[in-house]
Chain A
């Protein structure tokens, strides 16, 4: 055999081998075609409906068996390219045609069916998740389209805060000595808002008449950190107005059954964080409280009208 003929045979067998490999392993086939320039890898924009709603869903429910670690049926669902290219048996998404989209057929099967996806034992997709996929396919399975009409709003994930106790200690450090001192002076009155916060709450209501203007004034070193304060039923009066006005972080204030009047209410005007105030059984009148209501505060037990 001449050298040319030999090379020709080698080339032919290589081509046949590559062709066979491309046939048997579609991902390889796609890679070859991409390399040659016959096709481009399907991509989706990062702000597309696919990227924002569909991809996270597939990542959390499907990529375990159809992703980087395992590619069952040679299907990869952890990328737009993998999704659109399909499995060993062909495309799983037919843009615009839900009935011909094998992916949707499989996830719609009853859990008892052998071919149902996710397979028996894994949590099935929720109705909302299936609606998202269905609407996306019906709208053309695009990697560009940003909004798909009628899609249910995403479920808000509750992220529980990871707390570093040392960071919390540092935040508490500036006032820590004052807090300890005042906690022993007024037992049960001063508490931290939570284990992960340096903010403080004042629970003076249970002290009743024993807690008055002088006692409130004693809390002033903590003024910047007080977010919640209950002075209901205490002996405070309008003399505490300026002290209250100094608590710039205050969100909730309870003043029920105290001798405060409109003077105190008006003094609270600069408190930007204030969201809710209780004034039943005080001298506060509706006119002064109306100003707070207009700012969007929740005012409980107000004025003359009661």
Chain B
């Protein structure tokens, strides 16, 4: 066969099509036989009764609603990820013993066999930088940095014994968001929209809102990526100021009906391509173009916080026209009302190493709390007042905790930084919403806030619990890829933390 000439495009296409047909015939897509062994997981599986769940849908409506496996407690999730690792010792974990040891050299036993991100030599112990007190009906300990959350603390379930095995940002964020510290796995929101679809077909099912850090996290876009799941389940980052999605609107001079005609033509071409090559991603692409067309009408309205009364804007501390966590929280509530399944917020800047000082505990953390405390509490109260909290799951947390030792980048010498290093052994998150036992604290760390002494919760346990609240057995929400039934919770056993469930 002659080398294809760029001018022989038609011949090239013809040859490719013939090759494709031959391969298809060999594997036997149409006729079964050997091909049956290699059935694409996206095609409908006839599973034996009681075994694998079938998530097959018409590829042109990939986000259509599927009922959960069993009766759920929640119908949607709002995940508030505090990027960088917020310090529990300055927010929730009250350690008076650690305060007594403030300034002392760190004992050898704490350092032996451990690997730190930045600490070198022998660091000093660092007591909590802010005073703690008890709040709420059950005397929950909380620092003075969260005066607004304090007022709704009885609606929250604190978990102080979260544990991870990753001590750096990117792998730790990936672990919390996708269940694995490597890239390539599907994020929480992708799994949830894959399993449940979304109620509002005119908005994406998985929306990402970012504040305080540009558009990329340490781990980048894979944090809301679909991994091995079909790409339609990836998160859609939206902006809370200006156009929600860039280039969603029509170019100047192009009316909506003209756009419709263009789309019809593009759909036609894509459909021909699908008939030739049978790639379900092509149909998904058609669906995404259609979704974008529908979003033109609904997305701007959904994300426009100017439509809210002034009283509501003040409660959140939201300022229309700017990008802020407060704006994102208000948008999150509006999206929850409009049937969006998974709303992921990111707020960066909690990495309180103390270098530079405005990332330190006494400056940076103060600013972080001021930016996030009021809107978070307002979101909880607002969801509750509208009756949405009882079937929404709200999760707040970072990717790891912070060491009870002072971060000393220079190692051993007198250090001016007031900060803590990354600490995977123990960190705090909280959950609120349907099915969650509120007004309680689960798990304990030791007197120094170093190791967990009671009820450790692995990240996969948290994921299993979240999926349970959504109506799924984490072992049954799976997708076959690379010869394995991939699951959010991975291959190690994951327990549902029944003690935090109502």
Q: How many A-B residue pairs have CB under 8 A?
A: 83
Report the separation of the CA atoms of residues A192 and B67 in the bound assembly, to the nearest whole angstrom.
Answer: 6
- Evaluate whether A203 and B339 lie within 8 angstroms (CB atoms) in the complex, with A155-B499, A195-B69 already known: yes
Given contacts A127-B454, A156-B499, A163 and B387 within 8 Å (CB-CB):
no
Taking CB atoms, residues of chain B closer than 8 Å to A155 are 498-499
CA distance A160 to B468 in the complex (A): 9
Within 8 Å of chain B (Cβ to Cβ): is A166? yes
List chain A residues, Cβ under 8 A from B371: none
State A34–B339 Cα separation when bound (angstroms). Answer: 70
Q: Which of A195, A276, A280, A298 has the most CB of B within 10 A?
A: A195
Q: Which residue of A lies closest to B453 (CB)?
A: A127
Interface contact B385-A166, CB-CB below 8 Å: no
Decide: A300 near B49, CB < 8 A? Known: A163-B70, A188-B65. Answer: no
Interface size on A, residues (CB 8 A): 35
Q: Which of A162, A166, A205 contacts B339 (CB 8 A)?
A: A205
B455 to chain A: which residues have CB within 8 Å?
126-127
Say whether B390 faces chain A, with CB atoms less than 8 Å apart.
yes
Q: Nearest Cβ distance between residue B232 and chain A, in whole angstroms?
A: 18
Contacts of B349 in A (CB 8 A): none
Contacts of A195 in B (CB 8 A): 53, 67-70
B49, B69, B201, B453: the one within 8 Å of A166 (CB):
B49
- Measured in the bound complex, the distance between the Cα atoms of B71 and A197 in whole Å is 8
CB-based contact B387/A301 at 8 Å: yes
Q: Which residues of B contact A114 (CB under 8 A)?
A: none
Task: For A280, give its contact among B71, B386, B501 (CB under 8 Å).
Answer: B386
B interface, by DSSP: helix, strand, loop or mixed?
Answer: loop
CB distance from A38 to the nearest CB of B (A): 46
Residue B490 is within 8 A (CB to CB) of chain A in the complex: no
B67-A300 in contact (CB<8A)? no
For A301, what are the chain B residues with a Cβ–Cβ distance below 8 Å?
385-387
Q: Which residues does chain B contribute within 8 Å of A196, judged by CB atoms?
A: 69-71
Interface residues on B, range: 20 to 34
Residue B50, interface by CB 8 Å: yes
CA distance A31 to B407 in the complex (A): 65
Contacts A166-B49, A188-B65, A191-B65 hold; do A161 and B386 have CB atoms under 8 A apart?
no
For residue B79, give the distance in angstroms from its CB to the closest CB of chain A.
22
Within 8 A of A (CB), among B453-502: 453-455, 468, 471, 473, 496, 498-499, 501
Q: State A30–B385 Cα separation when bound (angstroms).
A: 67
Interface flags for A195-214 (1: CB within 8 Å of B; 0: not) read 11101000101100000000
CB neighbors of B among A165-200 (8 A)? 165-166, 188, 191-197, 199
Which residue of B is nearest A192, CB measured? B67
Taking CB as reference atom, which chain B residue is nearest A232? B337
A264 to chain B, nearest CB (A): 16
Q: Kindly identify, within residues 116 to 151 of chain A, every residue whose CB is under 8 Å from any CB belonging to chain B.
A: 126-127
1/0 contact trace for B360-394 toward A, CB 8 Å? 00000000000000000000000011110011000
CA–CA, A188 and B199, complex, Å: 8
Return A89 CB to nearest CB of chain B, in Å: 32
A157 within 8 A of B: yes
Kindly identify which residue among A156, A158, A276 contacts B387, using a CB–CB cutoff of 8 Å: A276
A166 vs B49: C-alpha distance when bound (angstroms): 8
Cα(A163)–Cα(B67), bound, Å: 14
Which chain A residue has the least Cβ–Cβ distance from B202?
Answer: A206
Give the distance in Å from the alpha carbon of A276 to the alpha carbon of B67 in the complex.
21
Please report the C-alpha to C-alpha distance between residue A126 and residue B497 in the assembled complex, in whole angstroms.
14
Are A156 and B50 touching (Cβ within 8 A)?
no
**A225 interfacial contact with B, CB 8 Å:** no
The answer to whether B468 touches A158 (Cβ under 8 A) is yes
User: Which A residue sits closest to B465, measured CB to CB?
Assistant: A158
Q: Does A113 contact B (CB under 8 A)?
A: no
Determine how close the nearest CB of chain A comes to the CB of B469; give it in whole angstroms. 11
Interface residues as binary, A268-295 with B (CB distance below 8 Å gives 1, 0 otherwise): 0000000011101000000000000000
B50 & A203 in contact (Cβ 8 Å cutoff):
no
With contact pairs A158-B468, A165-B50 given, residues A194 and B385 touching in the complex (Cβ less than 8 Å):
no
In the bound complex, CA of A237 to CA of B501 (Å): 37
Query: Closest approach, in angstroms, between the C-beta of A171 and any C-beta of chain B?
Result: 13
How far apart are the CA atoms of A184 and B62 in the complex, in Å?
18
Cβ–Cβ contact B70 & A160, under 8 A: yes
B386 and A300 contacting across the interface, CB-CB below 8 Å: yes
Give the contacting residue for A203; candidates B199, B385, B498; CB below 8 A.
B199
Q: How far is the CA of A49 from the CA of B130 in the complex (A)?
A: 45
Closest to B199 in A: A203
Tell me, rounded to whole Å, the shortest Cβ–Cβ distance linking A172 to chain B.
11
Q: A304 at the A/B interface (Cβ < 8 Å)?
A: no
**Within 8 Å of chain B (Cβ to Cβ): is A76?**
no
Q: Does chain A have a CB within 8 A of B72?
A: yes
A196 to B49, CA, bound (A): 12
What residue in chain A is nearest B51 (Cβ atoms)? A165
B118 to chain A minimum Cβ distance, whole angstroms, is 29
B199 lies within 8 A of A206 (CB):
yes
**A254 is an interface residue with CB less than 8 A from chain B:** yes
CB atoms of A194 and B50 under 8 A apart: no
- Chain B residue at minimum C-beta to C-beta distance from A299: B387
Q: Could you tell me the distance in whole angstroms from the C-beta of B456 to the nearest C-beta in chain A?
A: 9
Q: Produce 1/0 per residue, A11-40, CB < 8 A to B.
A: 000000000000000000000000000000
Residue numbers in B under 8 Å from A276 (CB-CB): 387, 390
The residues of B that contact A163 with a CB separation of less than 8 Å are 50, 69-70
Q: Are B498 and A157 neighbours in the complex by a CB distance under 8 Å?
A: yes
Name the distance in Å between B342's Cβ and chain A's nearest Cβ.
17
User: Could you write out 17 A-B pairs with CB less than 8 Å apart?
Assistant: A156-B499, A158-B501, A166-B49, A194-B72, A194-B471, A196-B69, A206-B199, A206-B338, A252-B390, A252-B391, A256-B386, A276-B390, A278-B386, A298-B390, A300-B385, A300-B386, A301-B385
Q: Which 7 A-B pairs have the closest CB atoms?
A: A300-B387, A278-B387, A158-B496, A156-B498, A192-B67, A160-B473, A158-B498
Besides A156-B501, A195-B69, 12 other CB < 8 A contacts? A157-B498, A165-B50, A188-B65, A194-B69, A205-B339, A206-B200, A254-B387, A256-B386, A276-B390, A277-B387, A280-B386, A300-B386
